[in-house]
Amino acid sequence: KKHKFWETQPVGQFKDLGNASLPEGPIEDPTPLSEVKQEPYNLPSPYEWITCDIDSEEMVNEVYNLLTNNYVEDDENMFRFNYSKEFLRWALNPPGYFRNWHIGVRVKSSKKLVAFITGVPARIRARDHVVNMAEINFLCVHKKLRSKRLAPVMIKEVTRRVHLENIWQAAYTAGVVLPTPISTCQYWHRSLNPKKLIDVGFSRLGARMTMSRTIKLYKLPESTVTPGFRKMELHDVPAVTRLVRNYLSQFVVAPDLDENDVEHWLLPKENVVDSYLVESPETHEITDFCSFYTLPSSILGNQNYSTLKAAYSYYNVTTKTPLLQLMNDALIVAKQKDYDVFNALDVMENESFLKELKFGPGDGKLHYYLYNYRLRQELKPSQLGLVLL
Ligand SMILES: COc1cccc(CC(=N)NC(=O)c2cccnc2OC2CCNCC2)c1
């Protein structure tokens, strides 16, 4: 039976689709904290829960190795996400994080880490309600332990630990359709190193196209074109916060970022997140902002290459520079930094530049979900202002 687990959870159910009488907002009310299950859920006997202290070198190595060998692959099993250790520490330690929301499952006898799931706190606005939520990510079960029904109990356990912090909603994404997406987004790729992408099978040579013609098609200028384009620095946090908050207010669902959040999520961090802004040469006003995060993929089974260096479009804001021009500068910087491909979802205003900047559609969709929060109808990707890692 499909979705046996999800039909027991406070999420939009397929049978409720189109039922406009159901109110928008929380599906279930909070439970009194005293009534939240105090002890962890039971795991099958060979396994035990562990809290993963991602700041410990040994633990981040175990988490890194589990994900590197067992996390999400593309539909053709040619690539697997290869989050770096510094990326994981960044992604899991935002302001106000809870260490016990970084949950591992290990084998009692061997102490081997065999599964992982995480939550981080986030203030997310849905229309005009700012809600304290958990962003759930990195659900991973070792390949050898699939279909042992570990995922449902891991989801229940992270939900229980989130409830204990008096948080009752969550946001997550998945490549699969579950009850019920709040939006379904298409992903797009912009080749930066077409020769390597074709060699590893990520892209195919277009019909009636030669390799040299393809390399020429994707060629970019050596340097950015926007006057005043520069890396973001610590002293820019207040101005970037104003710019991003104002821009995100137009979307139905978006993070409610304050200066602490902006300092953590949007300040450049080597090999993790890159962010640039446009400071008007005349007025020194910060008028535009763009950012991308670094998520390489392991290339499974290619003689010449082992890693695909990929940039993922993060938050981009324009108030003066045309978005097309700003994103082209982002592509130029990514190429300068030797990325092979620049990925983007069709969220926010991304659709306005994807085709013109020579992005091609990916072969899959990314579905967005809210836990215990109903929206009156599914959102178009252009109504979504949330990018998860
Ligand atoms: C190229 O290597 C891949 C390795 C694993 C999976 C995929 C396809 C895929 N599933 N891509 C995405 O989910 C994706 C495509 C464009 C932008 N963001 C994305 O996902 C982000 C956000 C959700 N968590 C993973 C990273 C590609």
Q: Taking residues 287-315, report their average pLDDT.
A: 98
Instruction: Give the mean pLDDT of 67-96.
Output: 98
**pLDDT reading at 15 higher than 90:** no
Helix axes 57-70, 85-92, angle to 10 degrees: 110
User: How many Cα atoms are found within 13 Å in the side-chain-facing hemisphere of 158?
Assistant: 32
Q: Residue 336 — very low, low, confident or very high, per pLDDT cuts 50/70/90?
A: very high
**15-29, 62-76, 174-188: lowest mean pLDDT where?**
15-29
Residue 370 annotated to the active site: no
Strand 102-107 to 113-126 pairing: antiparallel
Confidence of residue 342 (pLDDT cuts 50, 70, 90): very high
pLDDT value of residue 325: 98
Is residue 89 predicted with pLDDT exceeding 90? yes
Q: What is the pLDDT of residues 276-286, one digit of tens each?
A: 999 999 999 99
Whether residue 327 has pLDDT greater than 80: yes
> Is residue 98 exposed (0-12), middle (13-18) or buried (19+ Cβ within 10 Å)?
middle
Report pLDDT digits (tens) over 93-132.
999 999 999 999 999 999 999 999 999 999 999 999 999 9
Overall average pLDDT of the 364-387 stretch? 97
CA of 346 to the centre of ligand 1 (A): 13
Task: Please state the atom number of ligand 1 nearest to the C-alpha of residue 71.
Answer: 5
Mean pLDDT of 185-193: 98
Cβ atoms of 188 and 344 within 8 Å: the answer is yes
Ligand 1 centroid vs 313 CA: distance in angstroms?
A: 11
- CA separation, residue 174 to residues 21, 73, 184, 266, 385 (Å): 28, 12, 10, 24, 17
Question: For all residues of the chain together, what is the average pLDDT?
Answer: 97
Residue 175, ligand 1, Cβ within 6 A: yes
Please report, as a single letter, which amino acid is at residue 123: R
Handedness of CA 276, 125, 310, 273 (dihedral sign): positive
The active-site residue, picked from 345, 366, 375, 389, is 389
This complex has an ipTM of 0.99
Residue nearest to atom 13 of ligand 1 (CA): 366
Q: Whose CA is nearest to atom 7 of ligand 1?
A: 74
Q: Is the CB of 22 under 6 A from ligand 1?
A: no
